[in-house]
Structure 1
């Protein structure tokens, strides 16, 4: 299946820091999206010398019909594989992501506690107050997809390049995974930086509150973004995310 425009993954080798260590950063895009939503963030960090991996999750960046055949476990397996590859060539690794990408890397920080130096999430999703989702167990057998959830961006003229439809079986698998992710939050010990848009039409504030209250990290900071919607990595607050996450990475990976 050919890739959609701007769906190419991004990788950068990075350069050793002053102490001779190589610092890696793994970033994940979100549900029905593509690397396009986080590649600018990755390029910014690569410009600072970090080794960066922005993979394309299975079923993404092609067609929603192809994504309909994938599940949350496929996405997590891809992220863990990318982490292994980055860890093999770096001395220390920070992980992060947007929306479901934030959930995936949070899940990784639960399962690989002690191997991750820091966790940066932008509007991560682990819960929802949307009552329509209660119908998902039935609806996934009646129809293949709902209308799109992508391109929630305040800034004019910016596109996320997400799918025009939301496949229901992958969505149901993600919601099912949320329960275990929430149950394992206390396993997260790495420092956490969480960016949350005050006006988000995709993920409500409950996710951020649950994450910050549940992790065991001695440092768990929330930054509220006032000029962006859900895809804040492409929105008006993108530079804030890039700059503050770079400062966070430098600090948590310092020798």
Structure 2
């Protein structure tokens, strides 16, 4: 229930949760996106018998103005709590993230290595080549928003139910998250499966290289997606992501 300071949650952006067996999967959506980008994947995992959590990050699924009142600490706190819920009832938990959700997943693996059994990243973001990002901390003090980055999806008719504006104070906070995650990549030891769209209009190839070189994971694999844009979980390659990630999780989860 919303109060006077929290706008109503937009239909279709509600969190998704499912009970299941001893293997759990936490899926995090990206910056200015919503659970709509991850729930189909979550339902597929739930149908396979896994416990699933797809949280709605604070400030998302409402308004971009509301998101400007939140920071990366709020977003991380939500996925951290979801991981705790899954670990309370599961023997093994894999964490998956799209875009900024990938940064949050990496941070969970850095801070809670005993609780993250495997990592699955889809077009994760912890750095970009865009030089204008250096201006964001200053711009955020005088401008509330700039044009949005949502719905970079090749398949017609798909909608991640994100914002059409990018809240700049929130973006400045995301840049702080990225820096924190980059500085601690060496602390990631969980098996890692990364999907990267060859044509992505939001995230360039910088993050993939940094992560694949920077983590300590002995088991790491990069899969290139040829028929999807940034929100690949709702795009033509979604089934590839679902099938490959299901096999990856099964390979690393302790046999029941």
Q: Compute the TM-score of the two structures, normalised by the length of structure 2.
A: 0.96
Give, in whole Å, the separation in 1 of the partners of 2:34 and 2:56: 6
Q: How does 1:131-142 map to 2 (within 5 A)?
A: 131-142=131-142
Give, in whole Å, the separation in 2 of the partners of 1:182 and 1:113: 16
Counterpart of 1:166 in structure 2 is 166
Give, in whole Å, the separation in 2 of the partners of 1:48 and 1:141: 47
Q: How does 1:1-255 map to 2 (within 5 A)?
A: 1-14=7-20, 16=21, 22-255=22-255
CA displacement 1:186-213 (0-9 Å, x = unmatched): 1111100000000000011000110000
**Residue-pair matches, total:** 249
Query: Is this contact kept in 2: 1:114–1:189, CA < 8 A?
Result: no
Residue 254 of structure 1: CA displacement? Answer: 2.9
Gaps of 5+ in 2: 1-6
Residue 159 of structure 1: CA displacement? Answer: 1.3
- How much is the aligned-residue C-alpha RMSD, in angstroms? 0.8
Query: Is this contact kept in 2: 1:114–1:190, CA < 8 A?
Result: no
Give, in whole Å, the separation in 2 of the partners of 1:132 and 1:201: 16
> SS where residue 52 of structure 1 aligns?
strand
